[in-house]
Structure 1
Amino acid sequence: MSNRIIFALSLVGVVIALLCAYLFGIVTKAQPPVFNPASNPYDKGIYANGIVESYQANGQNINIYPEVAGTIRHIYVNEGDTVRAGAPLLAIDDTVQQAAVAQQKAQRDAAATTLQELRAQPRKEALAVAQAQVAQADASLRTAEDQFDKQRRSFDIEPRSVSADTLDTARNAVNAARAGRDLVRRQLELTQAGAWTYDIRNQARQVEALNKTLQGGTALLEKYTIRAPVDGVVLSLNSALGSYVSPQGIYDTYTQGAAPALVMGANDDFYNVRCYIDEILISRLPQPDHITAQMSIRGTNIKLPLQFLRVRPYVSPKISLSDQRQERVDVRVLPVIFRFAKPNGTRIYPGQLVDVYVGQK
């Protein structure tokens, strides 16, 4: 009985072995690749990493930093929005600056009122008082003169009728009345002359200075609202309500560094590609009139021709395009900028990495 079991098990093992040999011996057909790897279309083409940017006649994407610091209290746009030049993008808390502008305006208005007061002189009420004082002084002088004349005539007729002291007192009263009249007349002339031209000129300059201060404060208040510098598209919004932003930018939680508050690009039918030619390949770069290039979009079979725009004539340290720690960053590269039309039906965005091949016509 045991031999029969052993024989049966052996037979089953042989069958299983033959079946496994058959199954593992079947050759499966390789699946076609999802996309073909990028290949150099030129005999002596130069390969370079490229990064897509919004189309700019010069420079790169528009990085927007505020000129003042504060807490963001309002956001007017979303990423991908198309905006016109001058449209508000962000609003920073401006409570303190509004109070400062209100104070500057009050100071300017007070100085302007003082200037109006100086230019409005003489005031008719003050002029009427001065004229009344002159009339009073004239009446007092006439009274004193009449008293003196009476005393003198009496003395001339009978010297014993008026004492010398009384006559001298009357004469002194006339002189005092005449001096008082001259004083109030000069005071009337001063009132009629109005404010001194130097006072008016000095006050006018104070008003002008305070007005300039107000203009500066108002201009600074305007900077608490960040506006679009040009027509374009909001590519990146690195801000949130309540975030603190400064002229150095805004703190990025992920990179733990400073980032611009917003990044804008041009609203155009074209994109730029900025590629970096390794310093050892610069000598192989064709003349600008003979440069031709092609771009491969990673992860697809799409290849697009590129139009040469310009070379940034400054060799700079290579940036970490692939964000790999082992990538060399001590190599220097020459930035070369190309342009291409936005392809219909293909998703491609600024900041996307592409493969660029540069050849010669």
Structure 2
Amino acid sequence: MNRRLIFVLAGAGVAVALAGAWWSGGDSGAQPPVFRPAPNPYADGLYANGIVESDQPSGANVNVYPEVAGTVRQILVREGERVRAGTPLLRLDDTVQRALSGQQQAQAQAALAQWRQLRAQPRAETLAVAQAQLDLAAANEKTASDQLAKQQRAAAIDARAVSAEALDNAANALAAAQASRAVAGKQYALLRAGAWRFDLDSQQRQYEASQKAAQSAAALLERYTVRAPVDGVVLALRAAVGAYASSQGVYDTYTQGYAPLLVMGGGDQHLGVRCYIDEILISRIPPAGQIAAQMFVRGTNIRVPLEFVRIQPYVGPKIALSDQRQERVDLRVLPVVFRFQRPPALQLYPGQLVDVYVGRK
């Protein structure tokens, strides 16, 4: 009885399995597409890949790189924040450069003090000392002169009273006193004349050179604060506190390449679209005044009319729209720039890939 029940259950299971296989293998019909593929709205339209950019006069986003290398110490803005030109964006570690700038400034101040000291000559106290030395030399000369006169009078009364050697010594003492007085007089005149003009000019040049060095150090110190080059919005912030930045930007561990510290864009009301047209299709581009274009947002049925801005008159190698220069392909393209007003309900951001059809009005 048990064996018979087992065979019955096994047969029922096989029947259910066969029915399920037949049911799943039947033609259920094609599923409707989530969105329609972008159709060509023009009779002779040209297709091109496009990338959304901020609306800039140059038609491109602004990549911000530091002019000096250092560790990021402070970040002062957030992504999506609107800033004015000259606004500090972030600061790099400037400890060494700040100390060097202070040293240069101190040296400039020392050179200035030395120049002012030379200009202030003669110092009254130094001139008083020189005058006293001149008076002392004059007194010594008077003493030597009186001593010689006494010796000469004594010799005139009695030649044996004063020896010839004594007379010579007295005469020599007077000559030495006269020479000392002359030296003291010239020293006094030299001090009274003040600093030599050549010394003044040399010290002035040293001060100016030190001041220029201090200004250069201060200007370099200012470079450690990265500022916004234009008015705009911070689109991307790729730096973090503690990261090392150089003039090549910061190292991106995902792409294994260098990226700019920040990416800035234009206004929020308008966006730009840069599309790349294959060189074999350039001859089919309508004249500038007759160009019309539409943009299709991938993954949706949304289409947006574009306003022609300009053609970049230079055909170059195409760079894959991931914006990585390592991904060049063997194709030459002509960049064409458009702009459009951002629809209120459309979520669209710079860097997004879109489909563009270029036709004739």
Q: What's the TM-score, normalizing by structure 2?
A: 0.90
Uncovered stretches (5+) of structure 2, i.e. residues with no partner: none
In 2, the alpha carbon distance for the partners of 1:17 and 1:103 equals 89
Q: Which residue of 1 aligns with 2:222?
A: 222
In 2, the alpha carbon distance for the partners of 1:254 and 1:119 equals 64
Q: Amino acid of the residue matched to residue 293 of structure 2?
A: A
Question: Deviation at 1:162?
Answer: 1.9
In 1, the alpha carbon distance for the partners of 2:252 and 2:284 equals 40
For the structure 1 residues 160 and 300, does the alpha-carbon distance in structure 2 shift closer, same or farther, using more than 3 Å as the test?
Answer: same
In 2, the alpha carbon distance for the partners of 1:228 and 1:301 equals 37
Mapped pair 1:131 → 2:131: yes
In 2, the alpha carbon distance for the partners of 1:18 and 1:81 equals 63
In 1, the alpha carbon distance for the partners of 2:183 and 2:323 equals 92
Q: Which residue of 1 aligns with 2:40?
A: 40
SS of aligned partner of 2:330: coil
The worse-fitting range, judged by mean Cα deviation, of 294-303 and 348-357 is 294-303
Q: Which residue of 2 aligns with 1:208?
A: 208
CA displacement, residues 300-354 of structure 1 (integer Å, 9 cap, x when unaligned): 2211111111111111112223799xx9810111100001011111110000011
Q: Which residue of 1 aligns with 2:332?
A: 332
Q: Which residue of 2 aligns with 1:320?
A: 320
Kept in 1, the 8 Å contact 2:59–2:337? The answer is: no
For the structure 1 residues 55 and 242, does the alpha-carbon distance in structure 2 shift closer, same or farther, using more than 3 Å as the test?
Answer: same
Written as runs of structure 1 = structure 2, the 5 A alignment for 1:110-259 is: 110-259=110-259
Question: Deviation at 1:29?
Answer: 7.7
Question: Deviation at 1:257?
Answer: 0.7
Q: Which residue of 2 aligns with 1:354?
A: 354
Q: Which residue of 2 aligns with 1:75?
A: 75
SS of aligned partner of 2:355: strand
Q: Which residue of 1 aligns with 2:104?
A: 104
For the structure 1 residues 199 and 322, does the alpha-carbon distance in structure 2 shift closer, same or farther, using more than 3 Å as the test?
Answer: closer
CA RMSD, 1 decimal: 2.8
SS of aligned partner of 2:319: coil
The worse-fitting range, judged by mean Cα deviation, of 15-24 and 109-118 is 15-24
Mapped pair 1:267 → 2:267: yes
For the structure 1 residues 16 and 153, does the alpha-carbon distance in structure 2 shift closer, same or farther, using more than 3 Å as the test?
Answer: closer
Q: Which residue of 1 aligns with 2:49?
A: 49
Question: Deviation at 1:167?
Answer: 1.8
Q: Amino acid of the residue matched to residue 182 of structure 2?
A: D
SS of aligned partner of 1:104: helix
Give 4+ residue runs of structure 1 displaced > 6 Å after superposition. 15-30
In 2, the alpha carbon distance for the partners of 1:343 and 1:175 equals 107
Q: Amino acid of the residue matched to residue 301 of structure 1?
A: N
Q: Amino acid of the residue matched to residue 154 of structure 1?
A: A
Q: Which residue of 1 aligns with 2:63?
A: 63
Q: Amino acid of the residue matched to residue 104 of structure 1?
A: Q
Q: Amino acid of the residue matched to residue 237 of structure 2?
A: L
In 1, the alpha carbon distance for the partners of 2:16 and 2:208 equals 104
In 2, the alpha carbon distance for the partners of 1:159 and 1:198 equals 58
CA displacement, residues 192-229 of structure 1 (integer Å, 9 cap, x when unaligned): 11111101100110110111111111111111110101
The worse-fitting range, judged by mean Cα deviation, of 86-95 and 44-53 is 86-95
For the structure 1 residues 16 and 170, does the alpha-carbon distance in structure 2 shift closer, same or farther, using more than 3 Å as the test?
Answer: closer
Question: Deviation at 1:163?
Answer: 2.0
For the structure 1 residues 189 and 53, does the alpha-carbon distance in structure 2 shift closer, same or farther, using more than 3 Å as the test?
Answer: same
For the structure 1 residues 21 and 246, does the alpha-carbon distance in structure 2 shift closer, same or farther, using more than 3 Å as the test?
Answer: closer
Q: Amino acid of the residue matched to residue 165 of structure 2?
A: D
For the structure 1 residues 299 and 158, does the alpha-carbon distance in structure 2 shift closer, same or farther, using more than 3 Å as the test?
Answer: same
In 1, the alpha carbon distance for the partners of 2:137 and 2:23 equals 138
SS of aligned partner of 1:79: coil
Question: Deviation at 1:268?
Answer: 4.2
SS of aligned partner of 2:96: helix
In 2, the alpha carbon distance for the partners of 1:145 and 1:103 equals 59
Q: What's the TM-score, normalizing by structure 1?
A: 0.90
The worse-fitting range, judged by mean Cα deviation, of 61-70 and 264-273 is 264-273
For the structure 1 residues 299 and 98, does the alpha-carbon distance in structure 2 shift closer, same or farther, using more than 3 Å as the test?
Answer: same
Kept in 1, the 8 Å contact 2:279–2:334? The answer is: yes
Q: Amino acid of the residue matched to residue 207 of structure 2?
A: V
In 1, the alpha carbon distance for the partners of 2:235 and 2:17 equals 62
Identity %: 60
Q: Amino acid of the residue matched to residue 266 of structure 1?
A: G
| Count of residue pairs the alignment pairs up | 353
Kept in 1, the 8 Å contact 2:45–2:358? The answer is: yes
CA displacement, residues 224-278 of structure 1 (integer Å, 9 cap, x when unaligned): 1101011111111111111111101111111001111111111242111000001
The worse-fitting range, judged by mean Cα deviation, of 189-198 and 107-116 is 107-116
CA displacement, residues 281-306 of structure 1 (integer Å, 9 cap, x when unaligned): 11111111111111111112211111
SS of aligned partner of 1:331: strand
SS of aligned partner of 2:264: strand
Uncovered stretches (5+) of structure 1, i.e. residues with no partner: none
Q: Amino acid of the residue matched to residue 234 of structure 1?
A: V
In 1, the alpha carbon distance for the partners of 2:232 and 2:328 equals 35
